[in-house]
């Protein structure tokens, strides 16, 4: 990030504006990717909980 800021300081205003827009676009994509990853992790946690519950049920049945 420091490298990007250093480069921005040396650019002409129009170049800096374009660089800023590019960085904002990258950030938006990364945020979208992060949100998708978080949603997927939450879904996997739910699936895991269901599987753990089923394993516990089966273990209980085997004890009988």
**pLDDT tens string 14-55:** 887 888 899 999 999 999 999 999 999 999 999 999 999 999
Q: Inform me whether the pLDDT recorded for 11 exceeds 80.
A: no
Give the pLDDT score at 55: 97
Domain borders along the chain are: 2-63
Give the pLDDT score at 25: 95
Output the CA torsion sign for 55, 59, 62, 64.
negative
3-state secondary structure at position 12 = coil
Give the pLDDT score at 18: 86
Residue 11 or residue 33, greater confidence: 33
How far apart (Å, rounded) are the C-alpha atoms in residues 24 and 8?
13
């Amino acid at each position: 990030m420091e490298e990007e800021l250093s480069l921005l300081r040396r650019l002409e205003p129009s170049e800096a504006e374009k660089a800023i827009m590019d960085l904002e676009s990258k950030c938006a994509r990364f945020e979208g990717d992060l949100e998708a990853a978080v949603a997927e992790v939450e879904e996997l946690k739910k699936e895991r909980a269901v599987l753990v519950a089923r394993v516990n049920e089966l273990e209980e049945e085997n004890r009988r």
